[in-house]
Amino acid sequence: MCDGLGISGANENSDETLQQYRNLVRVRNTRATKDKKKMLTAIHAAESENTMEFSKSHTGRTEVARIMKCLNPDIIIHMTHATKKDISMVARNRTGIVVCPRANGIVGAGVPRVAKMLDLGCIIGIGTDNVMLNSPDILRELDYIWKVSRSVERIFLNARDILKMATVNNAEILRLNSGYIQSGRAADIIFIDKSHVDLYPIHNPFATIVHRATEASIKAVMIDGRFVDGAQFEFANNN
């Protein structure tokens, strides 16, 4: 067994199979120890109108309704075309949602309704999804979701909320002891050069990171208090 179980979608699985997945993970997690973390379950759902219609026509239920009843996962990927009832159900259950806006754009699946999810109290993270089609660049996702929500949905998303999706929320969804800086939490940090030409001048640090930060403006990367990239960074010598 690995750290988690990733399932492609509900439509490829019967109710019985989804229940078997749930039971498999439940048994595995009863053996979890302090050094062996509990296994997480993630599944793709409601990415397109077609998958939603397929589920309704073949089972009489939405993908999300089936998933929540038969699988009860930790994470649902996409939720792009989830109904308000679906979103409310996921919010009440405190199931993490990971939106993948650029992947949705590549396949013409639409725009994740992030504002609606936030209004209903969802825990929303952000990811890149399919690396066969999409580059694994989380910074580009941040800028893209703001712009596409503004232009297509006519929704103004707060840059701070978007950055929180990629940091605090992603860590919470993945059960990581990181996501923000606090005593006792893992020091998983990227250091951004605020004097980089792509970022200067900075008026709003949240908006600057969301709209203008790139791989080139990252000075160093720290994982659990240890520099793993950018060893020349001046703080490394004092660590």
For the chain, the domains span: 4-181, 187-239
Q: What is the pTM of this model?
A: 0.93
Task: Tell me whether domains 4-181 and 187-239 share a fold.
Answer: no
Beta bridge partners of 147: none
**d(C-alpha 224, C-alpha 214), whole Å:** 22
> Of 69, 84, 72, whose CA–CA distance to 116 is shortest?
84
Residue 234: predicted pLDDT: 54
Comparing 37-51, 85-99, 137-151, 217-231, which segment has the lowest mean pLDDT? 217-231
When pLDDT is cut at 50, 70 and 90, the band that residue 1 belongs to is very low
Tens digit of each residue's pLDDT (9 = 90 or more) over 181-201: 999 999 999 999 999 999 999
For 102, other C-beta atoms within 10 Å of its C-beta total 21
Joined together, the tokens standing for residue 164 give 């929180």
Identify the CATH number of the domain defined by range 4-181: 3.20.20.140
State which fold the 187-239 domain adopts: Urease, subunit C; domain 1 (2.30.40)
**Whether residue 111 has pLDDT greater than 70:** yes
Residue 33: predicted pLDDT: 72
